[in-house]
Structure 1
Amino acid sequence: MAKELGEEITKKPLIIAMKGHPGTGKSTLAHALASALKFPLVDKDDIRDSTFPLHQQPQGSHALLNHLSYEAIWRVASTQLHLGISVIIDSPLSHRTHLDRLISLAASAGARLLIVECRPSDEAKWRERLEGREKSWHKPTSWEELQELIKGYGGCTEYDVGDVPKMVVDTTAPNLGLEELVSSVVRFIASS
């Protein structure tokens, strides 16, 4: 059913932009959506992981490598969209400038843009998820590291998305599994 809906809702290309802090479940949901809808998934972490050798160089700059990772996902997404292929972009979307870039990309490709923000209400489950996942050199590995990262954002992650349709998903809601989350997002996409 999701695949048929995926074909129906994409009369013109669609960008589904995931948003949320590390460990909120956005990558899990993004992978499940990509599988259900048969849309390519462009994951910022895949790009960022490939920069590890540069990170080890003395001249390697964390901020520059992060910026280059975003540039790479915008370009990959642009190619797909200009081919008429919808994409799911998995990134924190933590700065308004990232959303502005997606708005511009959508306009240039004649695509629709939707945001799916993962915001868990159960902090204990979120913490357990964050600290239990596979370790990565560029992601917070503890709750304390995550809190420092969020503090470093200085509130910039909470911004007005304007007219861009947005759905907020509680990825820790009781009795709500991944399949139900995917179904609710697909309904949101179909109705937007």
Structure 2
Amino acid sequence: MKDPTKKTLVVQGEQQMIVVLAGLPLTGKSTIARQLAGKLDAVLLDKLALRECLFPASHGRVSREQNDYVLEIALHAAVWHFETAPGRVVVLDGRPFTRASDVRALRRFASGLGQPLQIIECVCPEDVATERLMARHRRQTSPTADPGPDQCDEAPEAITEPKFVLDTTLPPWRCLSLALRFLEQNQATVQAGQDQGSHCEPPTRARTSHLNPGAGATK
């Protein structure tokens, strides 16, 4: 069968972009993130993988402070990639971003760098998520792949920022095609604004906390 996503224009050129995969656990965020990163030749920053490296003995259960710290590391890595590879797309995965404060922090982060922030919220029915969890357990997946406390201990808040809602019960090729189309359309909108005279300063490496502006600033 021919790959339908090959008909989709891949985001490219000098337009940098931060793509965030949001949504509750088991809604398919990581699958879409990996597919997008492959199609866009993007940097994939996986918070769960970073968490395993930084806190290997946690077995998937860490505090909010530890999760926030891991996200900080990922955001600093994003800055480094934007500095060293103009035109780079960064895909951020591994956190549900179901706290309004997290999403606002991401928006401030992207705005401070002068980069577009594209949010893709993955959704699926609860019974589908339950079946995915059972299948994961049958495969004996590493504990770090299970939802962490930042993902399931608090009631989720609706993402009110501009976003694209992706139903991950659709076939994988269709999910990828829709996500790429969303990014392509948004890239065209951003590019049109720049062509009309808007200008973004090149990013500089951040030394303060992205989640808590003003904290940890160097003197």
TM-score by length of 1: 0.78
* Separation in 1, partners of 2:27, 2:62: 26
Residues 106, 113 of structure 1: 8 Å contact kept: yes
Superposed displacement of residue 32, structure 1: 0.6
Which structure 2 residues correspond to residues 75-114 of structure 1 after superposition, within 5 A?
A: 75-83=76-84, 84=86, 85-90=88-93, 91-114=95-118
* Separation in 2, partners of 1:104, 1:51: 25
Supply the AA of the counterpart residue of 2:167: D
1:51 aligns with 2:45: no
- The aligned counterpart of 2:42 is 39
- Of 159, 167, 182, 1:188 maps to 182
Cα distance change, pair 40–110 in 1 and its aligned pair in 2 (3 A): same
Which structure 2 residues correspond to residues 1-192 of structure 1 after superposition, within 5 A?
A: 1=6, 5-8=10-13, 11-53=14-56, 55=58, 62-83=63-84, 84=86, 85-90=88-93, 91-121=95-125, 123-133=126-136, 134-137=141-144, 139-140=146-147, 150=152, 152-155=153-156, 157-161=157-161, 164=162, 166-172=163-169, 176-192=170-186
Supply the AA of the counterpart residue of 1:170: D
Cα distance change, pair 55–168 in 1 and its aligned pair in 2 (3 A): same
- The aligned counterpart of 2:3 is none
* Separation in 1, partners of 2:7, 2:21: 18
* Separation in 1, partners of 2:106, 2:17: 11
Deviations 1:3-55 (A, max 9, x none): 852215xx321011000111110000100111111111011101111133464
* Separation in 1, partners of 2:72, 2:133: 26
* Separation in 1, partners of 2:168, 2:62: 33
Q: Percent identity?
A: 27
Residues 6, 38 of structure 1: 8 Å contact kept: no
Residues 2, 186 of structure 1: 8 Å contact kept: no
Supply the AA of the counterpart residue of 2:104: D
Cα distance change, pair 13–169 in 1 and its aligned pair in 2 (3 A): same
Which of the pair is proportionally richer in helix? Answer: 1
Residues 8, 180 of structure 2: 8 Å contact kept: no
* Separation in 2, partners of 1:181, 1:158: 21
Supply the AA of the counterpart residue of 2:34: H
Supply the AA of the counterpart residue of 1:79: W
* Separation in 1, partners of 2:20, 2:146: 19
Supply the AA of the counterpart residue of 1:62: S
Measured on the aligned residues, the alpha-carbon RMSD in Å equals 2.6
* Separation in 1, partners of 2:115, 2:130: 35
Supply the AA of the counterpart residue of 2:35: A
Superposed displacement of residue 180, structure 1: 1.3
Superposed displacement of residue 86, structure 1: 1.4
Extract unaligned runs of 5+ from structure 1. Answer: none
- Report the number of matched residues: 172
* Separation in 2, partners of 1:12, 1:118: 24
